[in-house]
Chain A
Amino acid sequence: MLEIKDIHKSFGKNEILKGVDLTIDKGDVVVILGPSGSGKTTLLRCINFLEKADSGKAAFGELQVDLHSASKKDIHAIRQKTAFVFQSYNLFNNKTALENVTEGLITGRKVPKTEANEIGKKALDKVGLSDKYDSYPSQLSGGQQQRVGIARAVALNPDIILFDEPTSALDPELVGEVLTVMKNIANEGTTMLVVTHEMSFAKDVAKRVIFMDGGVVVEEGTPHEIFVSPKEERTKKFLKRVLPEDYTFYI
């Protein structure tokens, strides 16, 4: 459903992405792992045109675009098919939780207000925030804010949701509630591309795991292949550092 070909991106002289290919099928949950600076986030941002890639192609079902020279219309079309969940939530501070969720529907997609409110409330119910429709972001905890962020993405009913380290800015005890919500959404068959450091999420939910380092895909496979029998030395080293000693993998 989504195919990325040979994507390159530099910031000044610093080459972040050195030719990454990526294929995601409908309903897949793909997790990208890797150390900081490996280009995971940049890859995600380039797919949604929050960052303009230096070169590369993307195929979205029928829609083919060049990631460097896409027209405004193409960018708009891609953004209609994708949704993004940010590390720092990026909720609209001047809007209530419900307005945050419906803003893209009403203003961006011209959905009638009553219908949008209906969709928005359902999305907020789904992330367990039925009692927070009218709360402003300043009144919500980090975990609640991120759940609003997820509801905002879900409400758009996109073909794919891109998650950029959705739990990295959260207190440890709030991580669980966000991961639970993400698992529920994954179980409903939503296509997801997730950059995360949560190994348990990768292990339990991912269909495929991609390990990136230094701007390239080092290794990819099922969670079992990556966590239990990684082939590349670089992957083994990374996993040894991030996984506890007595980590065992059940499937």
Chain B
Amino acid sequence: MSDGLNYKFLVDTFFVALSGVPITLFVTAVALLVALPLGFLLALTRINQIPILNTFSQVYVSFVRGTPIIIQIFIVYASVPLILTAITEKYNWNIKIYDINPIWYAFIVFSFSTTAILIEVFRSALSTVSKGQLEAAQAVGLTNFQAYRRIVIPQALVVALPNICTATVNLIKATSLGYAMSLQEITLKAKVAANVGYNYVEAYLDIFLVYIILCSLVEYGFKLYEKRLRKYQYVSS
């Protein structure tokens, strides 16, 4: 091993790590696309105390929140193939379970965990919009759906946005655990490159840099969006 950092490797591996960004973002985007609407709907069932679904959401949140993501990954990665094997054998389907791209497992795990987080985010955000505004909307002849779409959600979104941003950034970072199921994302790619010459410190620095750049950009985007949504609170007369 050479003394000091291997700068050429540092630079090269930075781009290797960077090449994992699309997969990281793809998994993040899919998880958010599933979790945002689902989390919102389940938050509504909690706020409106809809029987069964309310309890389900409650148990679901404690379940997911109370277990480390890495364990969720292990469970899904180990159990889903077993279940699928049983099913395919029963119906004689000719599918090679172990050829399934790990990204599908990533979609499942991260959608599950993000939904749980967003249920709580939306629940607290929705409860900040006074019930009176919903009543006023009904009184002027809006349907419940219209009242939510035009009055409640725009205001709840403003409150929820900082927390959605946190959830998104956490999600991006959590996808690094995807290496445990050989998902070709940032961390795995850089680590594989490091394996060749044992340049782990350089690889970790690169991973560090890529995540911090990625997350800062996402945070910045959220801030801009929030500013736009908040216009009704900040205007001066």
A96 to B235, CA, bound (A): 11
| A88 touching B146, Cβ below 8 Å | no
Contact A86 B136 (CB under 8 A): yes
Is there a chain A Cβ closer than 8 Å to B151's Cβ?
A: yes
Shortest Cβ distance from residue A22 to the other chain B in the assembled complex, whole angstroms: 19
B137 touches A103 (CB 8 A): yes
Shortest beta-carbon distance, B203 to chain A, in Å?
47
Collect the chain B residues with CB atoms within 8 Å of residue A91's CB.
133, 136
Contact of A108 among B130, B142, B155, B235 (CB under 8 A): B142
Contacts of A109 in B (CB 8 A): 141
Contacts of A92 in B (CB 8 A): 133, 136-137, 150-151
23 example contacts (A-B, Cβ-Cβ < 8 A) are as follows A48-B139, A76-B143, A82-B139, A84-B136, A86-B132, A90-B132, A90-B133, A91-B136, A92-B150, A92-B151, A93-B133, A93-B232, A95-B151, A96-B232, A103-B151, A104-B140, A107-B150, A108-B140, A135-B237, A136-B235, A138-B232, A138-B233, A152-B136
Which A residues contact B (CB, under 8 angstroms)?
48-50, 76, 79-80, 82-84, 86, 88, 90-96, 103-104, 107-109, 135-136, 138-139, 152, 156
Choose among A50, A95, A136 the residue that contacts B139 (Cβ–Cβ < 8 A).
A50
| Chain A positions within 8 Å of B146 at CB level | 107-108
Q: How distant is the Cα of A43 from the Cα of B128 in the complex, in angstroms?
A: 27
Extra contacts besides A79-B138, A107-B142, A136-B233 (16): CB < 8 Å? A50-B135, A50-B138, A83-B139, A88-B130, A88-B132, A90-B135, A90-B136, A91-B133, A91-B136, A92-B150, A92-B151, A94-B155, A103-B150, A109-B141, A135-B237, A152-B136
Give chain B residues whose Cβ lies under 8 Å from the Cβ of A138: 232-233
| Given A50-B135, A86-B132, A94-B232: A103 in contact with B140 (beta carbons within 8 A) | yes
Chain A residues whose CB sits within 8 angstroms of the CB of B37 once the complex forms? none
In the bound complex, CA of A98 to CA of B150 (Å)? 15
Structural contact, B151 and A94, CB atoms closer than 8 A: yes
Q: Does B221 contact A (CB under 8 A)?
A: no
Q: Is B22 an interface residue (CB 8 A)?
A: no
Taken residue by residue from 147 to 161, chain B's Cβ proximity to chain A (1 for < 8 Å, 0 otherwise) reads as: 000110011000000
Interface range, B side: 20 to 34
CA distance A83 to B135 in the complex (A): 11
- What is the CB-to-nearest-CB distance from A47 to chain B, in angstroms, rounded to a whole number? 11
User: A50 contacts which chain B residues (CB < 8 A)?
Assistant: 135, 138-139
Q: Min CB distance, B226 to chain A, in Å?
A: 14
Pairwise interchain contact A139-B133, C-beta atoms closer than 8 A: no
Beta-carbon contact of B232 and A79 below 8 Å: no
* CB-based contact A84/B141 at 8 Å: no
Question: Once bound together, how far apart are the Cα atoms of A104 and B133, in whole Å?
Answer: 13
- How many angstroms between the C-alpha atoms of A109 and B139 in the bound complex? 12
Which 3 A-B residue pairings sit nearest by Cβ, starting from the closest?
A: A104-B140, A108-B141, A90-B132
Closest to A92 in B: B151
Chain A residues with Cβ under 8 A from B151's Cβ?
92, 94-95, 103
A80-B141 contact in complex given A50-B135, A86-B136, C-beta closer than 8 Å: yes
> Smallest CB–CB gap between B48 and chain A, Å?
15
Those of B33-52 within 8 Å (CB) of chain A: none
Q: Is the CB of B140 within 8 A of A156?
A: yes
**Pairwise interchain contact A95-B232, C-beta atoms closer than 8 A:** yes
Complex interface residues of chain B between 113 and 129 (CB less than 8 A to chain A): none
Q: Which residues of A contact B139 (CB under 8 A)?
A: 48, 50, 79, 82-84
Note all chain A residues with C-beta closer than 8 A to B141: 76, 79-80, 104, 108-109, 156
